[in-house]
Amino acid sequence: MRLLLITLFLPFMFACQDQDVQEDEPQGLSSQTYRYLALGDSYTIGTAIGVDSSYSAQLVDSLEASQEADSVYYQVIATNGWTTADLQNGINRDQPDSSFDVVTILIGVNNQYQRRSIPEYEIEFRSLLDQAIIFAANRKERVLVVSIPDWGVSPAGAGNRAQVASEIDAFNAAQKAICDSLQVDFVNITEISRQGLNDPQLIARDGLHFSKAMHRLWMKELYASWYGKITAQ
């Protein structure tokens, strides 16, 4: 049973802007309720495909399908168009507690799109990551940082794909350096997102976001890390 709390905002802003995983599943996880906090933007809530099709929801579905967990408490703080500053405002409003078993954070595409600077991003992302660690009961090994997908491979990015790719890489390099400095896991899904350039089935119907199939590919990258973290407790 999924226990779900989602924080969403209705006004649209730009957001760049099958669910079971059975392969090589670890064994021995005791049945209980796990608490998952997903922090992010449109990708985290599955804009254009629906929240139940997002990588974060598919991650919950896969854990529950393993029959090792009784239930998952799943809280989402995300909406379309959010930058790092917007996510900070959402966290300030919702004030999640510090008892989560796993926290994921995927944020930054709108910083890139809005031409926000990397030095500003580094300061704001570092603060968000410090808070994510607190939400994970001060255990940084429970935190997963997800790299920024490359929206330039979508039809909407056709006019400046090389520039978008270069800028996305720069933002990802900045956040990976911060993750490395704090010894927090950095899960790279950017190259997976670039498969959308040659596979239209990986692009959502809106021509900007990514499809459920793409989110599944991202989820599979997260799944092993997720399982490793909750079984290590």
Residue 99 region by backbone torsions, left for phi larger than 0, else alpha for psi between -120 and 50, else beta: alpha
Taking the model in full, what pTM does it have?
A: 0.87
Pairing mode, strands 71-77 and 33-39:
parallel
Gap between the Cα atoms of 41 and 184, Å rounded = 20
Q: What is the reported pLDDT for 214?
A: 98
Banded model confidence at residue 26, pLDDT cuts 50, 70, 90 = very low
Banded model confidence at residue 70, pLDDT cuts 50, 70, 90 = confident
pLDDT in tens, 127-171: 999 999 999 999 999 999 999 999 999 999 999 999 999 999 999
Pairing mode, strands 143-146 and 2-7:
unpaired
* Domains defined along the chain, listed by start: 2-9+32-231 (3.40.50.1110)
pLDDT in tens, 74-94: 999 999 999 999 999 999 999
Q: Is the pLDDT of residue 1 over 80?
A: no
Per-residue pLDDT averaged across 32-58, rounded? 95
User: Quick count: other Cβ atoms within 10 Å of Cβ 28?
Assistant: 6
User: Quick count: other Cβ atoms within 10 Å of Cβ 87?
Assistant: 26
Gap between the Cα atoms of 168 and 74, Å rounded = 28
